Each structure stands twice: as C-alpha cells, then as structure tokens.
C-alpha cells in the first residue's frame, strides 16, 4: 500500500466515524479490493458499500431488541422437537412465527403442565416477532404483578402501564404458579390496557377453569379471561415433561 492510500483510508475511517457509519467502515476495504479485482463500476461499488451499512444497522437493531426483550434463554423453533409433543399443532405454531398475530394484535395462550415446552415456544415466537421487526418484552407473571404493585404504591401506575405500550408483544410467562393476591386487580388492568394496545402471549400450567385460584375472585377472573381469550390462539401442551424425559435419557446413558 502506498502512503497516499494509507492516508486515504485513515480519512475514510474518520469520515465514517463522523457520519456514524460503522458498517461501511468495517466493509469498504474488502469491497474496494474486490471491485478492483473484478473491475466493478464505481456506482456499483458505492451501492455495495451502502447496502453493507444497511445490513449492519439491521443486525445491530435486532441485537438491541433481543437484549431489550430480556428472554431468560434464547430459544428457536428450529431447536424445538415437535415429534416429542405430537398434540401440539406444528403448522399453527409455524404460522404464528410469521408474526401476523402481532400485526393483528391477537393473543397466544400456551397451556400445559410444567416442562412441556411452553416457555420455549413463547420465547421462539417472541424471537421470530423481533426478526419480523417488532418490539417484544418477556416477563414472568409474578415479576409483573410485583412491579405493578410497586408502581401502584408509588402512585405511578398509569406511567408504568404506559411504559408497556411501546412493546408490540408482551410475553407473560408462568401465570399460575403463585397467587397474585393484591396484584390481581392490577394485573387485570394491565391485561385490559394491553387489549387496546398490542399482543400478549401468556403461558400457564393451569387450565382456564383454575385461573380463579391465581386471581382469587370469580368476577375478576371472568372479566380477565374475557379480554385475554378474545382474539386468542390457544395452544395446548399435552404430554410428559421434556426435562423429565431428558433426565431419564441422561440416567440411562450414565448407567450404561
Ligand atoms: P415449560 O415452560 O412448559 O415448563 P420449557 O419451555 O421451559 O417448559 O421447557 C423445559 C426445557 O425443555 C427447556 O430447556 C426447553 O428448551 C426444553 N424443551 C421442552 N420441550 C421441548 C421440545 N419439544 N423440543 C426441544 N426442547 C424442549
Ligand atoms: Mg416455563
């Protein structure tokens, strides 16, 4: 490399920084070498540079949204073994992964015993929705109820509820393991507000007839179910725990 091109590259790096074009900065050298080798026209070279910058912005936005979603663990549909739970309608799940339900502000409810893959599918649908360009946030039902109570006590409930409006899809995991107590009416308010603003995925180990145990009030539970199940896709997870099967398999392997 002669000195002129070294100076030029330094200047290009500097300009990229000033203009906040990190994708272009990372890729232009390689693209320029290729263009020289293959005799690519200057305008075509410029287009490739711009497209690299766009692609890198897209990647960074996805990464930021994945972090903001706070999934406990990343999970994808590719990793999900549908054969292990044949009653789960695979085609419907794949259809939901197209994220049309988010655009239509519909809900998804995953019901079934522990370890059957509800959190896995809910997370995978959330990740697919992020890929499709939506904002997603994952939260456990108990944490949500605690945050709602804290906001209520600090007279910040309205502001707290509004904070959720920026998410196109909220995943509320593990409803049913603990009673929500004084958080129940606030949870209802959250669901009612959500009904107006965006999609909700709820996972629960309890069938609907037992949700009253979580909310502790028949009228409240009916009103809540009315909202949640309106325009909802209900996925029923029947079968034995995948964790348990995994442990059994592992025991067999280590005892051999
Ligand atoms: P649940 O939320 O219903 O209690 P999880 O989704 O947390 O169950 O599943 C428990 C563990 O087993 C997770 O690590 C999950 O990735 C895995 N798992 C469950 N079902 C399947 C499946 N059908 N294929 C692959 N992994 C599965
Ligand atoms: Mg779970």
Query: pLDDT tens digit string along 108-136?
Result: 999 999 999 999 999 999 999 999 999 99
Nearest Cα neighbor of 138 from 164, 159, 157, 116 is 164
Confidence of residue 4 (pLDDT cuts 50, 70, 90): confident
Please report where in the chains the tokens 């904070």 appear, as a residue.
163
Question: Ligand 1 pocket: which residues have CB below 6 Å?
Answer: 75, 79-81, 84-85, 114-120, 203, 242-243
pLDDT of residue 5: 86
pTM of the predicted structure, to 2 decimals: 0.88
The alpha carbon dihedral of 202, 208, 211, 213 has a sign of negative
Condensed to tens digits (0 to 9), the pLDDT of residues 184-212 reads 999 999 999 998 899 999 999 999 999 99
Q: Candidates 76, 77, 78, 117: which one to mutate for ligand 1, based on the most atoms within 8 Å of Cβ?
A: 117
Q: Of all atoms in ligand 1, which is nearest to the CA of residue 112?
A: 3
Phi and psi of 20, rounded to 5°?
55, 60
Task: Check whether 2 has a pLDDT greater than 70.
Answer: no
Mean pLDDT score of the chain: 93
Q: Is 168 helix (H, G, I), strand (E, B) or coil?
A: coil
Burial class (CB in 10 A: 0-12, 13-18, 19+), 53: buried
Burial class (CB in 10 A: 0-12, 13-18, 19+), 132: middle
Q: Of all atoms in ligand 1, which is nearest to the CA of residue 81?
A: 24
Condensed to tens digits (0 to 9), the pLDDT of residues 34-78 reads 999 999 999 999 999 999 999 999 999 999 999 999 999 999 999
């Amino acid at each position: 490399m002669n000195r002129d091109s070294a100076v030029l590259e330094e200047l290009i790096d500097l300009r990229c920084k000033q203009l906040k074009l990190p994708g272009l900065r990372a890729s232009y050298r390689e693209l320029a070498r290729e263009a020289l080798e293959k005799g690519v026209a200057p305008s075509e070279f410029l287009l490739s540079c711009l497209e690299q910058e766009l692609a890198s912005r897209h990647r960074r936005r996805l990464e930021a949204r994945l972090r903001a979603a706070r999934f406990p663990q990343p999970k994808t549909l590719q990793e999900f073994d549908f054969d292990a739970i044949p009653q789960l309608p695979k085609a419907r799940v794949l259809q939901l992964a197209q994220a049309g339900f988010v655009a239509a502000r519909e809900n998804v409810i995953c019901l079934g015993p522990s370890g059957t893959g509800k959190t896995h599918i809910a997370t995978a649908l959330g990740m697919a929705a992020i890929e499709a360009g939506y904002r997603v946030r994952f939260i456990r039902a108990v944490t949500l109820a605690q945050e709602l109570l804290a906001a209520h006590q600090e007279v910040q409930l309205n502001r707290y509820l509004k904070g959720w409006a920026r998410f196109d899809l909220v995943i509320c995991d593990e409803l049913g393991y603990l009673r929500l107590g004084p958080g129940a009416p606030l949870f209802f308010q959250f669901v009612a507000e959500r009904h107006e603003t965006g999609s909700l995925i709820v996972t629960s180990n309890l069938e609907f007839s037992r949700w009253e145990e979580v909310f502790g009030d028949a009228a409240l539970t009916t009103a809540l179910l009315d909202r949640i199940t309106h325009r909802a896709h209900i996925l029923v997870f029947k079968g034995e725990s995948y964790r348990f099967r995994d442990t059994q398999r592992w025991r067999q392997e280590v005892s051999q």
